[in-house]
Structure 1
Amino acid sequence: MDAAAGTGAGSTGAGRTGAPGPWSGDRTYVRRVLIALLLVGLAATLWLASHALLLLFGAILFAVAIRGLAGLLRRVLPVGEETSVVIVLLILLALAGGVGFLFGSQISQQFSKVAQQVPDSLQKLEDTLRSTGWGQQLLALTGGVPLTGDGGQGGGQGGGQGGAGAAPDGGSGGAGLGWLVRQAGSVAVAITGALGDLLLVLFGAVYLAFQPGLYRAGIEKLVPKDRTDQIVRALDATGGALWKWSAGMLVEMVLVGALTMVGLWLLGVPAPLALGLIAGTLEFIPIVGPILAAIPAILLAFTVSPDLALWTALFYVALQQVEGNLILPLIQRRAVALPPVVSLFALLVFGSLFGAIGVLLAVPLAVTAMTLVQVLYVRDTLGKPVTVEGG
């Protein structure tokens, strides 16, 4: 009887410790639900803060470029890290100030000329198209919307109807003035926001360039000890890849801008200096940027003559061939090269998600993602040999 009692007690104790309780399944379910809610909340927070995070990435990109230039400087001068960063910043400020002092007035006048003559060239192009049968058919495909964005032409109607369409909101002078004020206010807000974002990126880049170790140590503290070396290698590779990409992009922008300026000057296109700056700046956006840069140049050439517009278009086509077959292969020997399909879909994805700032940062974001996949997944997880662009 005692043995039976002992056996019963033993089985009861085993039941208390070994068998799951009646609420254990519910606790597991609740824990999983809480984890899922936490992940959803984290994703929502990242989405709401996406603009700030993209600005942070832009600051990191500029900081990488500054420290890369400082590293090149230390190969020539026996100076420390912080001193080399200061020298690079002073050189950049001196270059910007020198260009502004020597060419600022000319650049400002040429940009004003571009802003004034592009609408006139659009109007001239529309008038030329309306004078031909095929041009009228082409304009009909746009639904009758004028190229200049106003209804002044009235689709070729009489002068009274054209005057009625000249001012927005029913042609009233007061309503038209109000529309202009609203448009000017919207443009001012957009410019102010863009300048504010640019200042945040620049100041953030300076802080990051001076003390990268401080922020790097903070990232290392957030990962387990057994993964620290892996994360350090990933950060080093990503920084190296971004530096190679930014250096190659800087060389490409300077070359394309200079070639565009000289070519348009030889052709006799108005405002070649401003158009060269536009071409060099838009080279930062692959595939789409060169097309956008060619549009104002062709329109300005059209104000001189249709033949000059044709020669300008042919010049941009030839420039793209030179860039694709000569400039890019030479640069990509030392820089990071993305496949064209990756660049295209990066523009589509990040542009759809984040708008204009997503388009600007699409390629460096793709470079970062590609490097992290190569280091953390292909090499460290799958164990396959891979050549990492950043090191």
Structure 2
Amino acid sequence: MQHTPRRTGAAERAGAQNGVQRGNFAFRVLFIIAATAVAFALYKLSTLVFLIAGAIVIAVIIHLIADPLCKRLSMPPKLAVFAAVLFLLAIMGGAGYLFGSKAADQFDRLAENLPQAIGQLQETISRGPFGRAVSGALTGEGGASAIDIAGFVRSMIGGVLTSLVYLVSTATAGVIFAMYPEHYRDGALKLLPPRLRPRVRDAVNLSGKSLKGWLVGQLIAMAIIGTLTSLGLMVIGLPSWLALGLVAGLAQFVPVVGPILSALPGLILAASIDVTMLLHALIVYVGVQQLESNFITPFVMRQTASIPMALTVFSIIGFGMLFGGLGALLATPITVAIYVLLQKLYIEDEFGDDLNIHGEKQA
């Protein structure tokens, strides 16, 4: 009889341990289900997620102008943001007034000339020994071109209203984020346990500094690439040189992949004229890209965290495959932010490595 209570106590402890294990197992299963549901929801709402990311990028651009106003002119933060927004609107309005009509006219001509250039190029290629196979690959059933630029333009026009709604909404959200950055950052941090908030806040701030540095370098690169490409194409006499230069400058926002794709319309248009024009256009595009890769890109990399080029390329491809053009467009800034967060919160915290992340000492 004396051993019965001891066996009962052992049984109770074993039952308690089993109950704890079952509870832990149930919690893990529920956590996995919840994480899967959140991931699925984010995938289904990927457009909304990328619009939020775009709003954050716009807010960072606004602060590129507002922060110096606060430091050097001692402006209140909200007034500096308002002044920065007015400055950006004035820049866009002035550019539209000076170049808008000419650029619009050249874009119209480009949309008209490209389908003809593609057809002429296919006809020229089909005359060679290997041209029939290439031409067959570019031609669908009934002889219709698989690269239907006119159809692509029409489909884009059909989505102009939706794009405008997205653009206005994203820009408005970006201004709001710029007005109250700490409010939204701290509100998101309240979802975390209190002990984690200071560390995550520092990591988020550092990620924002790195993203700001990347944007500074990227905007400079876009302006230089667009200007040099326009001037080069104008010198060789290629039609729609201003529109093609604007395309090259804007495409620079998507590193590596964007510049390659932006060169295709100009090269196709040049090939439809003659071989000499094609050679001259190729020299312009290759020369500008050599300048970009040897001088501009190293400058950009000094302004931000050192992100491996292969990671940049595969992030663009992966985001593009999963989420389409919007994902490819915002893949690099999102990768910059996530890369810094992983370095700060995972590699440094879990393994104790001192990575000396760009901008950390200044922060």
Question: Same fold by TM-score, threshold 0.5 exceeded?
Answer: yes
Distance 1:22 1:295, change over 3 A: closer
Alpha-carbon shift at residue 150 of structure 1 (Å): 8.4
Residues 252-263 of structure 1: matches in 2 within 5 Å? Answer: 252-263=221-232
SS of the equivalent of 1:304 reads coil
1:205 equivalent in alignment to 2:200: no
Q: Distance in 2 between matches of 1:108 and 1:183?
A: 17
One-letter amino acid matched to 1:63? A
Who is 1:107 aligned against? Answer: 103
Who is 2:86 aligned against? Answer: 90
Who is 1:170 aligned against? Answer: none
Q: Which has the larger radius of gyration?
A: 1
Alpha-carbon shift at residue 9 of structure 1 (Å): 6.6
1:308 equivalent in alignment to 2:277: yes
- TM-score norm. by structure 1 comes to 0.83
Contact 1:58 1:361 in 2 (8 A): yes
Who is 2:118 aligned against? Answer: 122
One-letter amino acid matched to 2:315? A
Who is 1:11 aligned against? Answer: 6
User: Considering only aligned residues, what root-mean-square deviation do their CA atoms show, in Å?
Assistant: 2.6
Contact 2:125 2:135 in 1 (8 A): no
Q: Distance in 2 between matches of 1:183 and 1:321?
A: 30
Q: Any unmatched runs of 5+ in structure 1?
A: 155-164, 167-179
Per-residue CA deviations over 1:304-352 (Å, capped at 9, x if unaligned) read 3321112101221111111111222234333444222111111121111
Who is 1:383 aligned against? Answer: 352
Alpha-carbon shift at residue 184 of structure 1 (Å): 8.3
Contact 1:350 1:359 in 2 (8 A): yes
Per-residue CA deviations over 1:70-126 (Å, capped at 9, x if unaligned) read 112334323111111111100110111111112211111111011111111112222
1:54 equivalent in alignment to 2:35: no
Alpha-carbon shift at residue 252 of structure 1 (Å): 0.4
Contact 1:239 1:390 in 2 (8 A): no
Percent of residue pairs bearing the same amino acid type? 32
1:133 equivalent in alignment to 2:128: yes
One-letter amino acid matched to 1:139? R
SS of the equivalent of 1:338 reads coil
Residues 220-231 of structure 1: matches in 2 within 5 Å? Answer: 220-231=189-200
One-letter amino acid matched to 1:141? V
Q: Any unmatched runs of 5+ in structure 2?
A: none
Equivalent position to 1:235, from 201, 204, 214: 204
Who is 2:30 aligned against? Answer: 34
One-letter amino acid matched to 2:233? L
Q: Distance in 1 between matches of 2:155 and 2:85?
A: 34
Distance 1:232 1:295, change over 3 A: same
Contact 2:211 2:304 in 1 (8 A): no
1:247 equivalent in alignment to 2:216: yes
